[in-house]
Structure 1
């Protein structure tokens, strides 16, 4: 029978998928119940529920790049499909897709930031590890 070391147990506890999903939902990647964000994009210094230190996060421009990538890959084919299928007036097409693009971007940005913080926490990046 193999003995499990403490590092293996704590590594198993930090499930990447679960941490990213919790972050995507705007919750603490550690406990899953405390709020991750203070405001629209500002990450809290620590979780008010489990006291996990979140000040180490370095999401920076990653969520913005991912938002642009996802929104662009969704809206460009949809724009072509709508244009080729129904041929709407240019002003209607522009207005509809501008509003849709902005709304989708504003919806995804804080969620992708939370997911990225969850990924950093799960992978022990940027000071999230136990070795201090």
Structure 2
């Protein structure tokens, strides 16, 4: 028998880690920064030392953003087109522009949420 206790899923709850991560804070301590650049996580937290470069978020944050944008933009386009008579040329500028702005705003929190989820579940290098 080993003296090692099995980890409990409640010792790293996802809710608080998610709330900290989407604000760019370290999910482990809430003090340090999570990103060194726009989408590049810091090597490790400057406050608690938790490593963040071991994540394997890959393309999943982009898939989340695509799913969210589809659910935001398509109903919005339908409602705006039903309420207003916007020329097609203007729509060709408005909708892609809005999609680019929303992608830019959503991708970092989505990546932070994926990394926080991996950390709370002790996935990949977060054991």
- TM (norm. structure 1) is 0.87
Q: How does 1:1-132 map to 2 (within 5 A)?
A: 7=6, 11-129=9-127
RMSD across aligned C-alpha pairs, in angstroms?
1.6
Query: Which digits, 9 at most, give the CA deviation of each residue in 1:70-121, with x for residues without a partner?
Result: 0111101111111121120112122111211110110000010001110000
SS of residue matched to 2:125: coil
Q: What secondary structure sits across from 2:52 in the alignment?
A: coil
Dislocated runs of 4+, deviation >6 Å? none
Q: Count matched residues.
A: 124
Tell which has more relative contact order, 1 or 2 (C-alpha 8 A, sep 6+): 1
- The gaps in structure 1 that reach 5 residues or longer are none
